[in-house]
Amino acid sequence: MNHPVLDGFLSTQGVVVLDGALATELERRGADLNDPLWSARLLIENPGLIEQVHTGYLWAGADVITTASYQASFAGFARRGLSQPQSVELMHLSVRLACAARDRFWSDPAQQIGRMRPLVAASIGPYGAFLADGSEYRGDYGLTVEELIDWHRLRLAVLAGSGADLLACETIPCRTEGEALVRLLAEHPHMPAWLSFSCRDNAHLASGESFADCVAVGAASEQIVAVGLNCTAPRHVEDLLRIARTVTAKPLVCYPNSGEEWDAVRKCWFSEPDATDFATLARRWYAAGARLIGGCCRTTPSDIRTMRPALLNTLK
C-alpha cells in the first residue's frame, strides 16, 4: 500500500519523476563549490542560483525537487563560524527556496495541465558528507548507531519541521547509518521519508554490506515510503532493484549518477559516464521495479526532460 504523500502520483501516472543533480548542476551554471560545504555554500553566498536550478528541474518535468541541505550540518556550519540559530535559518532557507520555486511554477495554470502539484523533499545527507573526504562512498565511519543518532538528531528535527513534504535520506553508505535514521524518524511520526543507499556494485553498499539486508532496514519502518539507491553507477541499478523487490513491496527509489567516479583527494570527477540515454534506462529501471526515478551527480535537467515522457508514455 502506498503512502498518501505518493499515492496520487502512483495512482494517476504510475511513477514519480525525481529531479537530477543539484551540486554538479550548480557548477555547470558557474558556481564554485570547491568547499567543505559543497552546495550548501550557496545557501550563504548565492541562494538565488539554487532556486533557479530547482525551477529548471520543475520545467523539465520533475515531480519532486530536493533541497540544498545535503551538505548542511550544524558541525559544518560551525566550522564557518556560524551559530546554531544561523545554521537553523540556513536549513530552513534550503526548504523555502525549493517551496518558492515550486509555488511559482504551480501558479501558472498552464503547468497544471497533466501534472500534480510537485513535492519538496528535504535532503538528509550522510555523516560522510560533513567530513568532505568521500566517506559517503566508503561508509568507514567507525561510529555506532547511537553516535550517528546523536549527530543527525537536531538537523533531522529542523528539516522535519521545515515545511517540506517529505525527507530524502540519501547516499547512505552503511547499514549503521540507515538504522540510525530509521530510529530517528520515529521521533517525528508525522514525517514520511525515503531511504536510499549508495552502492559500489550490483549487490553491496559502499561499505561492502549486503544491499538486501539494508533494504530490509527501511522496509521495516512505516515512515519509509520508498527504499532503494542513489549516487550509484547506472550499470548496477537493475540488479539492485531486483534484489530490493525480493525484500520489500514498498515503492522502490532509484536515482543513479552518470557512472563517472569521484576523486575525493583531487576533488574532481574522472572516467567516462556509463550512461547517456537516461530515457531508455529509466524504462528499464521501471520494469525492474522502480517507481521513484531520477538522477544524481552529473545528471542535468535535460536528462529529466527526456526521462519523463519516456516513462509516462510507456505507462499509457
Q: Could you read off the pLDDT of 240-251 as tens digits, one per residue?
A: 999 999 999 999
Mean pLDDT of the residues in the chain: 93
* pLDDT for position 2: 74
Contacts of 272 (CB under 8 A, 6+ apart): 259, 260
Q: What is the pTM of this model?
A: 0.94
Count of CB atoms situated within 10 Å of the CB of 183: 17
For the segment 43-49, the average pLDDT, to the nearest whole number, is: 95
Predicted confidence (pLDDT) at residue 11 exceeds the cutoff of 90 = yes
* pLDDT for position 37: 85
Question: Strands 261-263 and 252-255, how do they pair?
Answer: unpaired
C-alpha cell, 253:
527509489
Q: How many domains does the chain have?
A: 1
Higher confidence at residue 269 or residue 185?
185
Contacts of 176 (CB under 8 A, 6+ apart): 141, 143, 144, 145, 148
C-alpha to C-alpha distance for 223 and 231, rounded to whole angstroms: 22
* pLDDT for position 18: 98
* pLDDT for position 216: 98
Predicted confidence (pLDDT) at residue 164 exceeds the cutoff of 80 = yes
Higher confidence at residue 179 or residue 137?
179
Instruction: Name the β-bridge partners of 18.
Output: 64
* pLDDT for position 133: 83
Predicted confidence (pLDDT) at residue 275 exceeds the cutoff of 60 = no
Band (161; pLDDT cuts 50, 70, 90):
very high
Return the DSSP state at 300: -
C-alpha to C-alpha distance for 189 and 210, rounded to whole angstroms: 28
Band (1; pLDDT cuts 50, 70, 90):
low
Tell me what percent of the residues of the chain surpass a pLDDT of 70: 94
Predicted confidence (pLDDT) at residue 262 exceeds the cutoff of 80 = no
Q: Are 185 and 217 in contact (CB under 8 A)?
A: no
Q: Are 165 and 120 in contact (CB under 8 A)?
A: yes
**DSSP states of 252-296 as a string?**
EEEE---S-EEETTTTEEES--S---HHHHHHHHHHTTEEEE---
**Diameter of the chain by CA atoms?**
53
Band (274; pLDDT cuts 50, 70, 90):
low
* pLDDT for position 316: 67
Q: Are 63 and 7 in contact (CB under 8 A)?
A: no
Please report, for the domain that includes residue 143, its CATH number. Answer: 3.20.20.330
**Structural domain of 87:** 4-314
